[in-house]
Amino acid sequence: MTLQELLTSLTRDLHAAGTDAPALEARLLAGHVLHLDRIGLMLAMPSPVADDAAAAIRALTARRCAGEPLAHITGRREFFGRDFEVSPQTLIPRPETELLLEIVLRECEGHRDVRFADLGTGTGCIGITLALELPHSRGLLLEYSAGALPVAARNIRSLQAADRLALVRGDMFTPPLLPQGLDVLVSNPPYIAAAEEDEVMAEVLHHEPHSALFSEQDGLRHLHAVIRSGQQALKPGGLIAMEHGYRQGEAVRRLLMEAGYGAPRTEQDLAGLDRCTWARRD
């Protein structure tokens, strides 16, 4: 069987299972097993696929058809143009989170020697991206999960950001941050309320860590903790930026104003939904 014939069969199976992008996912799974990029796959289309390789690709496709996230199967996910390791112990990086990076990079334009912290770093995708996009910055990445910490550590090393990042195990409710030591505090904390569980995709609910998804107090408990941390850790004029649920923009702005931050602003993702709110410490 040629690669083209195999991909046609896999695409049909994935389509029947209701995956989002069957043809793309078939190519990604085949590329993962065959160690081929997009160009390599195109060139290999007329060539036969070895039986053992075809069996391995079909086995991965069966896992995907059963609802396992593609990122967990391949162990990789692209974020902001870079390749990150992921695992079932970490939240899978999502395109909408890139808005959070865009806000921070925009607001830090022209600034050097930025000091930042990323609370609840998971894979490290936010903090590592900031360090690489802001070449003179230094950051602290905080994560409580013992399972997520080694994933973040490997991503820091593989993306060559170890010289400017410190990875620390800690609780975002009592983070080890010095008073007024930060220019930027950023976080994508758990923010789904228990009452919203029925709205969560089954693929996410069954495969991603609930500790990275759900928060008490109508989904606001961790967001409030980040805001409190910023009160102590941010320099005057320092930036706080957080991702949150599409219903939470108003509540997050209220919490920021109550905590003394100036003029909080909520920005929308590509779907037009409230996704990130930021403000500056007065």
Binding residues: 120-124, 143, 188-191
Residue stretches of the annotated binding site for S-adenosyl-L-methionine: 120-124, 143, 188
Residues in CB range of 119: below 8 A, 6 or more apart: 142, 172, 175, 185, 186, 187, 189, 226, 229
Q: What CA–CA distance (Å, rounded) separates 225 from 244?
A: 13
Cβ-contact 123, 85 below 8 angstroms: yes
Q: What SS3 class is residue 96?
A: helix
Q: What CA–CA distance (Å, rounded) separates 50 from 55?
A: 9
Cβ-contact 10, 58 below 8 angstroms: yes
Residue stretches of the annotated binding site for substrate: 188-191
Q: What SS3 class is residue 241?
A: strand
For the chain, how many helices (H) and strands (E)?
Answer: 12, 9
